[in-house]
Every structure is written in C-alpha cells, then in structure tokens.
C-alpha cells in the first residue's frame, strides 16, 4: 500500500469516529436537577378546598342592624318643653285600652275599632306676657317608623274637667290631657306639642 492510500484510509477512519462521538444530532436530555425544579415552579398552584367551597362563592354578610325599640310611655313622665307661649311638663303618659274616654259628667268619646287612646297628662304654664289659652288639635306624636299622629280634639274635650281651653293669665298654670288615637302598642318616640292649633310659633319637642 502506498502513502496516498494509507492517508485516505486514516482520514476515513477519523471521520467515522467523529460522527459517532457527535451522537447523530440527537438533542441532549435535560438535567434532572435545576430544569425539573423550574418546570414545577411554573405550574399553577392547585386550589385549596376553602377556595372552591360555598364560602368562596358566597361572601359572608354582616347581619342587618335592627331598629331601636320605642321607649315606654312611662319614660315621657317628667319631661318638659316650651312652644314659646306655654311651658309644658308631662306628668303622666298611659294607654286607655278600653277605648272610652269620659269626664264623668256625661261627655264621652270612643276610639275607632282596633284603636286605643294614648293620653299625655300635661301641666301647662303661661310664660308669655299676655293671657293665652292652650287649644287641642295642634300637637303630634311620631312612632318608630316616622308615622305622624295628630292629637284628638274630641277625645281631649271629653277628658277635660278642670281646664277646657280657657285663657290663663301670665304665670297661670293648669292641667290638661293631650290625647292620641292610634293602633294598640304603637311605639311613640317623640312628641310635638303646640298650644296653638294654627301651627304658628315653635313647638315643644319632647323625647325620652
């Protein structure tokens, strides 16, 4: 064999060995360490039971605050106010559940069916500089829902005995009843008392 042929054989052997070492172009397998951790970290976290349960679908609501209860009628006793003409002091407050008011002299008034009379006994004093009278029909009561009730002139007239809207001189005082007709157990939260039913002047606001 001459030198040229020997050189060709050696070159062919080197090419074959080089091709075998290159792995035939197959991609290398990724390492089982860092590459595997990176893939795991890139996955979406699995939802927990709390995130998929009813609590996650329906957020908890705070319970609604209940309306404050109305004060008792007894809590009005001892409270005072003024409309600029008369000072007014509540002596007593109560419900006349039988629905009948009489002054004992034959004057009587009856509440409508499914209603009762609520009576405020009031001490009035003329604090103006001229004679004045306290006349029913200009006062109001309010319940917890904001409903307004006008005082009952006829019932107050039936209840009057010592004072029946007569003039009182400055400093003069008398006792009278302000009467409201309303459904039983109506919770009264506020009184608006006026001595003049025409509504002129201010009102005495009385609230426990």
Q: How confident is the model at residue 97 (pLDDT cuts 50, 70, 90)?
A: confident
Q: CB within 8 A of 193, min separation 6: which ones?
A: 81, 83, 88, 122, 139, 178, 203, 204, 206
Q: Which CATH number fits domain 73-201: 2.60.40.1240, 3.30.930.10, 3.40.50.970, 3.50.50.60?
A: 2.60.40.1240
In this structure, are residues 114 and 104 in contact, taking their beta carbons and an 8 Å threshold? no
pLDDT in tens, 64-85: 455 678 899 999 999 999 999 9
Query: Is 60 exceeded by the pLDDT of residue 12?
Result: no
Where exactly are the structural domains of the chain?
A: 73-201
CA atoms of 87 and 102, how far apart (whole Å)? 26
Helix, strand or coil, per DSSP, at residue 41: helix
- The reported pLDDT for the residue numbered 160 is 87
In this structure, are residues 117 and 101 in contact, taking their beta carbons and an 8 Å threshold? yes
How confident is the prediction for the chain on average, in pLDDT?
79
CA atoms of 100 and 124, how far apart (whole Å)? 24
- The reported pLDDT for the residue numbered 14 is 45
Q: Which helix (H) or strand (E) holds 188?
A: strand 188-193
- The reported pLDDT for the residue numbered 64 is 46
> Average pLDDT of 2-19?
49
- What is the DSSP secondary-structure string of 74-143? GGGTT-EEE-SSEEEEEEEEEEETT-EEE-SSS-EEEPPTT-EEEEEEEEEEE-SSS-EE--SSS-EEEE
Cross-strand partners of 191: 141, 206
């Amino acid at each position: 064999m001459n030198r040229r042929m020997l050189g060709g054989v050696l070159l062919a052997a080197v090419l074959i060995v080089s091709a075998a070492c290159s792995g035939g172009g197959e991609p290398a397998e990724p390492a089982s360490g860092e590459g595997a951790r990176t893939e795991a970290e890139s996955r979406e976290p699995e939802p927990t039971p709390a995130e998929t349960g009813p609590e996650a679908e329906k957020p908890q609501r705070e319970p609604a605050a209940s309306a404050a209860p109305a004060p008792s009628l007894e809590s009005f006793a001892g409270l005072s106010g003024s409309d600029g003409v008369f000072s007014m002091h509540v002596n007593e407050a109560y419900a006349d559940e039988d629905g009948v008011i009489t002054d004992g002299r034959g004057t009587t008034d009856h509440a409508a069916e499914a209603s009762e009379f609520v009576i405020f006994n009031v001490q009035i004093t003329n604090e103006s500089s001229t004679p004045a009278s306290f006349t029913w029909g200009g006062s109001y009561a309010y319940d917890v829902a904001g409903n307004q009730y006008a005082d009952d002139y006829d019932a107050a007239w039936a209840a009057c005995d010592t004072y029946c809207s007569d003039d009182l001189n400055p400093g003069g005082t008398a006792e009278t009843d302000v009467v409201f007709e309303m459904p039983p157990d109506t919770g009264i939260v506020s009184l608006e008392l006026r001595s003049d039913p025409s509504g002129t002047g201010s009102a005495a606001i009385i609230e426990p």
